Amino acid sequence: MSIDLINQPAVDPGLFPLDPNVTFLNHGSFGCCPHAVLQYQQDLRFRLEKQPVQFFLRDLEPLLDDARSSLATFVGAKVDELVFVNNATSGVNTVLRSLQFKSGDELLVSNHGYNACKNALQFVAERSGAKVVIIDFPFPLKSPDQITQAVMGKVTDKTQLLLIDHITSPTGLILPIAEIIHQLNQRGINTLVDGAHAPGMIPLDLDKLGATYYSGNCHKWICAPKGAGFLHVREGKQEAIRPLTISHGANSPRTDRSRFQLEFGWMGTSDPTAMLSVPFAIEYMGSLLPGGWNSIMDRNRKLALKARKEICLSLNLPSPSPDSMIGSLASVQLPDSKEPVTELARNQSTHWKNELIARCKIEVPIIPWPIHPKRLVRISAQLYNSMAQYDLLGEGLKELGDNEV
């Protein structure tokens, strides 16, 4: 791969509707949908509104089937084991609120887990009397084996479920979930993977992975419109999983498709165009580099690694994890915050983040983690980013550190 694809944007940034006056280094939070994909979605919306009855009652189901088929191919899944949901958090909630637990059951989640999904786990645990067990993953860390050992060290005969990120949101680590899932499958323990960041960042083969449940986003690294996520449920586990909204599929007399597909295929009137735009987003993004999606993933990873290295050098900080655990997200530990201990500071490092946007027009998350005053800066690398932007970030962070009292 040409070094120019790292030192320069790999595509014209104008393909994305980002503010050209802002250095946007936070694709990981919400993604960014290209103009072409937004136009495709808008065309679908016009089609819907032109004849809503035709669209919803006659066109929608085959359109969703085609979209699921395209997505299934992309993530390596059987199409009948895949359904659309609004986002990965909705998929995680769908599984957790469908399952039945009892007092004394243990539900595992890591300290690197996404807060919203940990909240959902805590909610169902409190409702049933089950216990949430937190697994402490080290950070910095030297090897993915430390993650596997930490998980297995918390497994007991009371363990019913592991909720685990494929790629952690605060720390940007690709976790060794294949080995973890294999070991837990051998012990009959179910796994629920929060794969919010994985589709479009790393290659996926959900069939081979073997997780019981896997929830992912299409609006982040696939760059589909917001409102497009998926839930993958192994065939033998689908009977227990019901959508968050119970609708007509619950008592449909149809026998031409599974109850799982009937219920998730219609959960009330909504705008399905984000989901229907997923195949076009996959095709369009894959066309932007000669090597397709493999080249996109490889280029963004190389940029994230180089950016992380340069930021660490600029701030005289160690690299917090092996290169093998990085995709197109990467976090670096910053010096402890000097902000007063307030409720706001516990949830977001406002000062440095605000200073970066005000002084440098850089949009990047500064995350209190694991708890204030500890904090991280998390960078994202997408096709519109270039190395000069991370150099600017390194300079801004160094200046803030030098001036902090």
Identify which has the larger pLDDT, 99 or 350. 99
pLDDT band at residue 3, thresholds of 50, 70 and 90?
very low
Q: What are phi and psi of 362, to 5 degrees?
A: -105, 125
Residue type, 49: E
Domain parsing of the chain, residue ranges: 4-25+290-403, 38-283
Please give the full DSSP string across 98-139, using - where no structure is assigned.
HS---TT-EEEEETTS-HHHHHHHHHHHHHHT-EEEEE---S
User: In the Cβ-directed half-sphere of 197, how many Cα atoms lie within 13 Å?
Assistant: 27
Residue type, 280: F
Residue type, 305: L
Q: Is the dihedral of CA 278, 281, 283, 285 positive or negative?
A: negative
Q: Is the dihedral of CA 362, 368, 373, 374 positive or negative?
A: negative
Show the tokens assigned to 356.
């970066």
**DSSP symbol at 16:** S
Q: Class of 38-283 per CATH? A: alpha beta
Is the pLDDT confidence value at 119 over 80? yes
Q: pLDDT digit string (tens) for 183-227?
A: 999 999 999 999 999 999 999 999 999 999 999 999 999 999 999
pLDDT > 70: percent of the chain: 97
**Candidates 3.30.300.210, 3.40.190.10, 3.90.1150.10, 3.30.70.360; correct CATH number of 4-25+290-403?**
3.90.1150.10
β-strand 375-380 against 366-368: which pairing, if any?
A: antiparallel
What is the maximal distance between C-alpha atoms in the chain?
69
pTM exceeds 0.85, yes or no: yes
What is the three-class DSSP state of 267? coil
- Mean pLDDT over 152-176 rounds to 98
Q: pLDDT digit string (tens) for 217-274?
A: 999 999 999 999 999 999 999 999 999 999 999 999 999 999 999 999 999 999 999 9
Which pLDDT score, from 0 to 100, does residue 1 have?
45
Q: Which residues, at least 6 apart from 212, have a Cβ–Cβ distance to it below 8 Å?
A: 190, 191, 192, 233, 234, 237
d(Cα 115, Cα 118) in Å, to the nearest integer?
5
Closest listed residue to residue 308, CA positions, set 331, 337, 338: 331
